[in-house]
């Protein structure tokens, strides 16, 4: 950790206010960014490296909508064999850089049959089905009993919804359910998730949000719905990437507008 702290000291000059985690296939989020510096994850001490197609591995400092932002282009997942502590290193690093707000994006499958591929889901809450490990497991002190009510900041959500509405982009609020993966879900599992109140399912984000709340970082969660097995009968990783790529362009403009006003 000491080596990492020292490494980040050289990067504090960028003074990022926001951190953006770029999920599966959503790399086009970087298209409108005025980039100052790109650092491959492999150069960052203690930082885990993504092994999945569609996930780059680089930290990017730049300006978007006149805000200093650090982007994590690509994340690592629990299903790659990493611990939850490793999976959430992007959030640790964000906090060490002084970030106050996090925009976390992902690709998800529809649990609510009324969500369609290409839809953007504004995450209003989550259900954590990633039992077994937790980024706060083993944490000392009482702060680990972190409050998760309003984890997805209601003010951020209001701002984002307003922007989407103004632009005529259909954004729905919903509940994201996290599973360990890497297999996709059975119909029985999707029915179960629907009954417990989930709208979409994916294999990331929740650990990052838990650690962000622990570290006092406000969160905006955005999901690109890439598949609906109720309509399509099955889902493949290549479809996830293809739909996410289209979604990324819309998300990118919405995030730009969000950053213009969010604090
Ligand atoms: N299930 C789980 N994770 C996903 C899916 C899905 O259908 N689509 C994209 N990520």
Of the pLDDT bands very low, low, confident and very high (cuts 50, 70, 90), residue 53 is low
Q: What is the pLDDT of residue 137?
A: 95
Give the residue among 95, 97, 61, 91 at the shortest CA–CA distance from 75: 91
Helix (H) and strand (E) counts in the chain: 8, 9
Of the pLDDT bands very low, low, confident and very high (cuts 50, 70, 90), residue 29 is confident
Q: Is it the case that residue 171 has pLDDT exceeding 80?
A: yes
Q: What is the pLDDT of residue 55?
A: 65
Contact 153, 220 (CB under 8 A): yes
Q: Does the bond joining 226 to the residue before it have cis omega, within 30 degrees of 0?
A: no
- Any atom of ligand 1 within 6 Å of the Cβ of 48: no
Could you tell me the distance, in angstroms and rounded to a whole number, from the CA of residue 75 to the centre of ligand 1?
Answer: 15
- Any atom of ligand 1 within 6 Å of the Cβ of 201: yes
- Any atom of ligand 1 within 6 Å of the Cβ of 240: yes
Q: What is the pLDDT of residue 130?
A: 97
pTM exceeding the 0.85 threshold for the entire prediction? yes
Of the pLDDT bands very low, low, confident and very high (cuts 50, 70, 90), residue 179 is very high
Of the given ranges (102-106, 160-164, 229-233), which has the lowest mean pLDDT? 229-233
Q: Whose CA is nearest to atom 6 of ligand 1?
A: 109
Contact 122, 221 (CB under 8 A): yes
Q: Whose CA is nearest to atom 5 of ligand 1?
A: 109
Contact 38, 60 (CB under 8 A): yes
The CATH number linked to 162 is: 3.40.50.1580
**Residue-averaged pLDDT of the chain:** 93
Q: How far apart are CA 245 and CA 239, in angstroms?
A: 10
Question: How many domains does the chain contain in total?
Answer: 1
Could you tell me the distance, in angstroms and rounded to a whole number, from the CA of residue 53 to the centre of ligand 1?
Answer: 14
Tell me the mean pLDDT in the region 34-57.
87
* Percent of the chain scoring above 70 in pLDDT: 98
Q: How far apart are CA 160 and CA 118, in angstroms?
A: 18
Q: Is it the case that residue 234 has pLDDT exceeding 90?
A: no
Q: Is it the case that residue 28 has pLDDT exceeding 90?
A: no
Torsion, CA 31, CA 33, CA 34, CA 40, rounded to 10: -90
Q: What is the pLDDT of residue 195?
A: 98
* Tens of pLDDT, residues 114-139: 999 999 999 999 999 999 899 999 99
Domain extent for 229:
2-261
Contact 182, 104 (CB under 8 A): no
Of the given ranges (50-54, 122-126, 133-137, 216-220), which has the lowest mean pLDDT? 50-54
* Percent of the chain scoring above 90 in pLDDT: 81
Tell me the mean pLDDT in the region 139-165.
96
3-state secondary structure 153-190: CHHHHHHHHHHHHHHCCCEEEEEEEECCCCCCCCHHHH
Q: How far apart are CA 55 and CA 171, in angstroms?
A: 24
Contact 199, 89 (CB under 8 A): no
């Amino acid at each position: 950790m000491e080596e990492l702290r020292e490494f980040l000291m050289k990067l504090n000059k960028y003074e990022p206010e926001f951190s953006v985690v770029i999920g599966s296939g959503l790399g086009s989020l970087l298209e409108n960014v005025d980039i100052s510096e790109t650092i491959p994850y492999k150069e960052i001490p203690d930082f885990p490296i993504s092994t999945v197609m569609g996930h780059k591995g680089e930290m990017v400092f730049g300006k978007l909508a006149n805000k200093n932002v650090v982007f994590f282009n690509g994340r690592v997942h629990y299903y790659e064999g990493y611990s939850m502590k490793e999976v959430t290193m992007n959030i640790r690093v964000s906090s060490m850089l002084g970030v106050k707000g996090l925009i976390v994006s992902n690709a998800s499958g529809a649990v609510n049959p009324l969500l369609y591929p290409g839809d953007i889901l504004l995450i209003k809450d989550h259900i954590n089905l990633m039992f077994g490990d937790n980024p706060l497991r083993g944490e000392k002190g009482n702060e680990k009993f972190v409050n998760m009510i309003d984890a997805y900041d209601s003010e951020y959500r209001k701002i984002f919804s307003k922007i989407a509405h103004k632009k005529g982009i259909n954004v729905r609020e919903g509940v994201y359910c996290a599973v360990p993966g890497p297999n996709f879900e059975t119909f029985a599992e999707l029915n179960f998730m629907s009954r417990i109140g989930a709208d979409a399912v994916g294999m990331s984000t929740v650990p990052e949000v838990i650690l962000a709340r622990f570290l006092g970082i406000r969160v905006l969660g955005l999901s690109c719905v890439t598949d609906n097995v109720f309509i399509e009968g099955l889902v493949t990783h290549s479809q996830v990437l293809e739909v996410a790529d289209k979604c990324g362009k819309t998300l990118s403009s919405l995030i730009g507008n969000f950053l213009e006003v969010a604090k």
